[in-house]
Amino acid sequence: MKNFEYTIKDENGIHARPAGMLVKEASKFNSDIVLESGEKKADAKKIFAVMSMNVKCGDKLSVLIEGSDEAQAEKVLYEFFCNNL
């Protein structure tokens, strides 16, 4: 299992556009990818789950990745978060 934490810097949080982009990136991998923020959890491959987390600017998000391509997924998703959120 791989994981990383990221503090959201986008002033709008994870709104529709970046949520859609995140789901698209996460869906490229076979690994299970779960987002956690406080008590909220979501499958990163499901747009409604990601949107329902209601993640705001300044929220800390944990990204948990488990599966056959977890190392590559961790690298790509961390880069995605740094560049987009």
Residues in CB range of 70: below 8 A, 6 or more apart: 1, 2, 29, 31
Residue range 18-37, pLDDT digits in tens: 999 999 999 999 999 999 99
Strands (DSSP E) contained in the chain are: 2-7, 32-37, 40-43, 60-66
Domains of the chain from N-terminus onward: 2-84 (3.30.1340.10)
Residue range 64-78, pLDDT digits in tens: 999 999 999 999 999
71 included as an active-site residue: no
What is the DSSP-derived secondary structure letter of residue 27? T
| Active-site residue (options: 15, 21, 67, 72) | 15
